[in-house]
Amino acid sequence: MSERPAGVGQSRWSWGGAVMPYAAAAGAALGSWLLVGVPLAAAIALVAACLWRPSPLLVLVVFAAFAGFFGSKALEGLANPPDGPVEGWVTLLDDPRPLGTHGIRVTVRYGDARVEARAYGAVAARLDDALAGERVHISGTARPATSDWHRWRHVASTLNVDTVGDRADAAPLGAFTNRIRRLLESGAGSLPDDSRAMFAGMVYGDDRSQSPRLYDDFRAAGLGHLLVVSGQNVAFVLALASPLAVRARPGVRLIVLLALLAVFAVLTRFEPSVLRAVTMAGVAVTSAALGQPETGRRTLAWAVAAVLVADPFLIRVLAFQLSVCATCGLLWITPALTEMLPGPRPLRLAAATTAGAQLAVMPLLVAVFGAVPVASLPANVIAGPATAPVMMWGLTGGLGAGLAGEPVAWLIHRPTAALLWWVRSVAAASAAAPPAMLGAGGAAVVGAGVALVLVSRRLERARPLGVLGAAVVTVAMAVSVLAAASPPPGWSEAGGARLFRHESAVVVVLDGQARPRDLLQSLRLAGVRRVDLVVASRGGASDAHAVLALTDRYRMAAVVAPTMHRVPGARTVRSGDIVQVGTVDVEVVSDAPDLVVAVSLAASSEIPVVEAPGGP
């Protein structure tokens, strides 16, 4: 057998081996995006050719072919969705989530199809406490799903549930993880509501009980990723297991760690970021057990390739995109920033880790949401040190709290409560600050400044470039803060509601369409610091939920609603009534069936501005 040529040929071979993982990731991404169906025989033939004469280009083509093959098969599976009456057993694929004011939605498997089931009222109550993996007998009516959001999550139909019958336990692995979740939940019962919701999200990925204010505060701080499980949870699980696993033989250690990763993936409902991290960890522990440990960058590339071949639709899911980008930031940007920043190494590493991840996801966030909060970088640096203990103690001490019950559980979770209070305080302070945002231009300037800083570390006599880059970043942040929103007085839209601003009064008019999370975000970004009066025009459940969210943040002075309303704490008003707020008069023009109000300045000759549901 001939040997590989030395010299140049050997360099080419070494280079090819070094880029193989990146070629695989690029091929899987390309195939997942294009979704071009490739015959299985052709894909297998490409694998044989790759094994005979491997090259980066051939590896790219192989992974693109398999991603395209599996992606096209997944699309074919959505071609004949359930349509019409449905009755039978379904398996829950995730946990029921709130839908509107009195409904729930949950993804289920009916036959071979994945369906989003929706239930309301008493029917929803029968499903509310079910967990993923459990089986339920239902009946209802299915309709094909048409949105991209459903398609890229393999959902073929939506199902309006009419009746819920018997229930059956999940399979052994699912039942085991559900038992863990219920133990963690019961052990955290002594925590305040917001802290308990944070605990559930940070430790095992349950974000269903987060209040609108909690959600928006974390969005304002750029800390939203802390309210769900992420890749760092997987790292902490491995860190907890390593002291025990290291004592076992290599083969046993590998089996134990892979089993632990599988259990954690089921526990956290296969969140996209967890799938990426679990696969990455599986590649790392397997390569180490085989005596060929991979670098973090190559491990990420192999993990991305494997995940996208298994589920090509994930390339269009934002959570997966953010997870990959953040990990790239940790692996490529963080090391350079760590060497650049001044101070003790632990502090430099903490700041560089946060900055690396934030800078890597910034372009994607700007592209999707239009802007990112300036507070995200300092907030993550300040809150970050408290998150690791919450996640690690939450799994270990949290299980002990669930097993022990009260009052021992209360004592066990005192450290948890203190850490969660700190993270919550950082988020609340960020939400109370001026709503400074970095748009596309600001993000580009910040990216250019960081690039200058990184270049200055690579080139000799380039220190002035680093100083210039740091100055550019600082100025961009300062300009964003100074340019924070301060809209003029008058009427404006605000998250499905109407907002009237005057120097002496702020009035919010609801018409049953406002979603609490969107409403709070819109008011925050508009720079609203107080709300003096809320007009719940319809007075139904939707208005009631919006009022509760507003009260949680603003502590309003007054709420008015029509007769027979369902708004807690609201005062009933009728046609002809006038509510004075500061120097503003709010007159009820009509109260049947919904409130219509006219707003004018007291003792002024200006023509009143009439506000009706839906706006003028």
What the block records as the tokens of 75 is: 């699309």
Contact 526, 507 (CB under 8 A): no
Residues 366 and 128: their CA atoms lie apart, in Å, by 36
Say what the pLDDT of residue 69 is: 96
**Closest-CA residue to 226 (of 238, 237, 214, 239):** 214
Say what the pLDDT of residue 537 is: 94
Comparing 485 with 576, the larger pLDDT belongs to 576
Contact 67, 308 (CB under 8 A): yes
Taking the CA atoms of residue 394, residue 395, residue 397 and residue 401 in that order, the dihedral angle to the nearest 10 degrees is 90
Say what the pLDDT of residue 16 is: 55
pLDDT band for position 603 (cuts 50, 70, 90):
low
Contact 191, 413 (CB under 8 A): yes
Q: SS3 of 458, please?
A: helix
pLDDT band for position 13 (cuts 50, 70, 90):
very low
Alpha-carbon distance values, 269 to 95, 96, 156, 264, 612 (Å) = 8, 12, 19, 9, 44
| Beta bridge pairs of residue 139 | 87, 163
Interhelix angle for 414-432 vs 212-220, to 10°?
Answer: 70
How confident is the model over 360-384, as pLDDT tens digits? 999 999 999 998 998 888 899 899 8
Percent of the chain beyond pLDDT 70?
Answer: 93
Instruction: Provide the residue type at 373 as one letter.
Output: P
CATH 3.40.720.10 fits 490-611, yes or no: no
pLDDT band for position 460 (cuts 50, 70, 90):
low
Say what the pLDDT of residue 462 is: 66
Q: SS3 of 454, please?
A: helix
Quote the CATH superfamily of domain 84-170: Nucleic acid-binding proteins (2.40.50.140)
Residues 158 and 170: their CA atoms lie apart, in Å, by 23
Handedness of CA 128, 132, 135, 138 (dihedral sign): positive
SS (HEC) of 174-238: HHHHHHHHHHHHHHCCCCCHHHHHHHHHHHHCCCCCCCHHHHHHHHHCCCHHHHCCCHHHHHHHH
How confident is the model over 281-323, as pLDDT tens digits? 999 999 988 888 889 999 999 999 999 999 999 999 999 999 9
**Closest-CA residue to 555 (of 537, 531, 536):** 531
Q: What is the largest CA-CA distance in the chain?
A: 101
Residues 534 and 549: their CA atoms lie apart, in Å, by 12
CB neighbours of 477 closer than 8 A, spacing ≥ 6?
374, 436, 438, 446
Contact 480, 436 (CB under 8 A): yes
DSSP annotation of 147 reads S
Contact 183, 402 (CB under 8 A): yes
How confident is the model over 196-206, as pLDDT tens digits? 999 999 999 99
Comparing 484 with 88, the larger pLDDT belongs to 88
pLDDT at residue 6 is higher than 50: no
Residues 76 and 33: their CA atoms lie apart, in Å, by 16
DSSP annotation of 315 reads G
CA 428 to chain centre: 18
What mean pLDDT is predicted for residues 566-588? 91
What the block records as the tokens of 239 is: 């860190």
Comparing 491 with 454, the larger pLDDT belongs to 491
Say what the pLDDT of residue 453 is: 77
Residues 595 and 586: their CA atoms lie apart, in Å, by 11
What the block records as the tokens of 508 is: 């919010």
| Beta bridge pairs of residue 373 | 437
Q: Which residue has the tokens 């349950």?
A: 206
CB neighbours of 294 closer than 8 A, spacing ≥ 6?
21, 283, 284, 287, 302
Percent of the chain beyond pLDDT 90?
Answer: 64
**Closest-CA residue to 136 (of 92, 175, 100, 104):** 92
Say what the pLDDT of residue 428 is: 96
Pairing of strands 584-590, 578-581: antiparallel
Say what the pLDDT of residue 611 is: 47
**Closest-CA residue to 430 (of 570, 323, 525):** 525
**Cα angle: 270, vertex 272, 273; to 5 degrees:** 110
Pairing of strands 533-536, 558-561: parallel
CB neighbours of 269 closer than 8 A, spacing ≥ 6?
94, 95, 132, 205
Phi and psi at residue 534, in whole multiples of 5°? -115, 130
pLDDT band for position 615 (cuts 50, 70, 90):
very low
Contact 402, 184 (CB under 8 A): yes
pLDDT at residue 5 is higher than 50: no
What mean pLDDT is predicted for residues 164-191? 96
What mean pLDDT is predicted for residues 21-32? 97
Say what the pLDDT of residue 515 is: 92
Say what the pLDDT of residue 228 is: 87
Residues 569 and 518: their CA atoms lie apart, in Å, by 22
